[in-house]
Amino acid sequence: MMNVVPELYVVGAGPGDPELLTLKAHRVLQTAAVILYDNLANQELLALAPAGCECLYVGKKPYGDYTPQETIHALILEKARSRGRVIRLKGGDPFIFGRGFEEILFARAHGIATHYIPGISSMQALGFEDIPLTHRIVSEGVWMVTGTKKDGSLSADLRLAMQSNSTVVIYMGLKKAAEIAAAYCEMGKGDTPAAVVQHLTLPQRKLAVGPVRTLPALVASQQITYPALIVIGAVVGLGHDVTGHFLGQRLSHQALGLGGQWEL
């Protein structure tokens, strides 16, 4: 009988399109003894698993059915010790609001060797809809915040992000759309361009753009549900007509890549 070597690979499945999986993740999936996959991982990727691989769904649907984290930890421990190589396949990147590092720490605490393979985060897929995360002159950086904290309240970091000249990307924020819109209006920034996006790398992609003050209406207009991202900032207006005035046309030739100033 072969000795079983317990090990855990926490692997990013990317934003949905199976072809956006990394080459390393593709190779490792072909060697799995067990795959524990979540709600956001494209199940087409399970076809890469070798014969005899055990594939178990351990997903969490926002505000719906979910597998408790304690159950996932128990499965990691049991399967790694009995089968060997366990792949924890998580949508996007496991270390961006994905609890991937929690699972790494748990496995290490129980003597299980761990490995991490990054994935393309869903926010990087915004480029498929002509929304760059940064753009010279227009955006000085990116804030990634969660819309809802563990206690259900709106993230306090959002108000800090609103004061910057950076793009704001909000994960898990749909339920807080009205509060987010109100917060921007209170700061006098209700006309800031915003977009709500879902499944941007898949055929069923959805997009709604407009001033952030209309955020709840944007969600309703395209019947956008979970999982979705909210992105707020001038970058949204570079490639979209947000308020009837195409903001991208306000950029000079220089500002679009050759230096220069934002034309007001």
Known catalytic residues are 38, 60
C-alpha 242/C-alpha 191 separation (Å) is: 9
Question: What number of other Cβ atoms are within 10 A of residue 4's Cβ?
Answer: 13
C-alpha 236/C-alpha 191 separation (Å) is: 12
Q: Are 106 and 73 in contact (CB under 8 A)?
A: yes
Of 231, 232, 235, 263, the C-alpha closest to 249 is: 263
C-alpha 173/C-alpha 155 separation (Å) is: 10
